Amino acid sequence: MSRRTIEVTPELMLLAYRIGQFPMAVSRTSTELRWLDPRLRGHLPLDGFHLPRRLLRTVISGPYTVTVDHDFPATIAGCAAPAPGREDTWINPTIERLFTELHHQGHAHSVETRQDGALVGGLYGVVIGGVFFGESMFSMARDASKVALVHLVARLRLGGFRLLDTQFVTRHLSQFGAIEVPRMDYKLLLAEAVEMATHFPADPDPGLLAAEFTRMAKAAT
């Protein structure tokens, strides 16, 4: 008996995210997508984000400028590119296409870190209600992905978001306060947060953004 194949569309992806599932390809070259629903789910509490003073100085006066949604395709391509210690990736061409379509529909956003105009780091994810589902990040210069993450968290806090989903917790994310919770606890948080009415502030007032950075750093001390 042959397996029934269901076409994965942006609409199906949004439905899956609302119930706590997300897709990953088996490898960069694979055409197969798998749906994951981890027993332990990572998330980064927005009110408990740890922003070290050194990183705050880099965010405020370092060599980088940060843009949002200026080049989503380049950002996801950067996340998909091989890197030392990560020669393969779960982002295949199908994943790139689906998330780019979600971006065109206003459901996916990228945060881009630039140095002298060149894209050197960033991240992307999906927004539903008061949840930002973080997908992946990349860095080609020191602290470039960290700066993108700080900008993301500041915008989510300003926009009244409730949940920053990280899927899993890595050593990189744990230094900022990311934690794991049991699947059912996560889904209780998710069910409430996806129904919230929020606005993703891509270009907030610079004064409000700077003040949020300062509050984040003070909360970490």
Residue pair 126/17 in contact by the 8 Å Cβ criterion: yes
**Segment holding 191, helix H or strand E:** helix 183-193
Amino acid at 50: H
> What are 16-60's pLDDT values in tens digits?
999 999 999 888 888 788 999 999 999 999 999 999 999 999 999
The mean-pLDDT minimum among 75-89, 127-141, 204-218 falls in: 75-89
pLDDT band at 7 (very low <50, low <70, confident <90, very high): confident
For the chain, how many residues are written?
221
The mean-pLDDT minimum among 6-20, 71-85, 180-194 falls in: 71-85
206 has a pLDDT exceeding 90? yes
pLDDT band at 5 (very low <50, low <70, confident <90, very high): low
pLDDT band at 197 (very low <50, low <70, confident <90, very high): very high
Q: What radius of gyration do the chain's Cα atoms show? A: 17
CA distance 53 to 204: 22
- Specify the 3-state DSSP secondary structure of 49: coil
What kind of architecture, by CATH, is found in domain 39-86+108-219?
3-Layer(aba) Sandwich (3.40)
Residue pair 202/109 in contact by the 8 Å Cβ criterion: yes
Residues 6+ apart with CB under 8 A from 176: 44, 49, 50, 51, 149
Whether the full predicted model's pTM is greater than 0.85, yes or no, is yes
What is the per-residue pLDDT for 31? 79
Within 62-182, residue ranges assigned H as helices are 72-80, 93-104, 144-158, 171-174
* Residue for token pair 């806090």: 157
CA distance 148 to 67: 9
How far is C-alpha 141 from the geometric centre of its chain's CA atoms?
18
Q: How high does pLDDT run on average in the chain? A: 93
The mean-pLDDT minimum among 1-10, 26-35, 124-133, 158-167 falls in: 1-10
DSSP 8-class letter at 25 = E
Average pLDDT in the 166-175 region? 93
> What are 70-128's pLDDT values in tens digits?
999 999 999 998 777 666 688 999 999 999 999 999 999 999 999 999 999 999 999 99
Residue pair 77/121 in contact by the 8 Å Cβ criterion: no
Residue pair 125/13 in contact by the 8 Å Cβ criterion: no
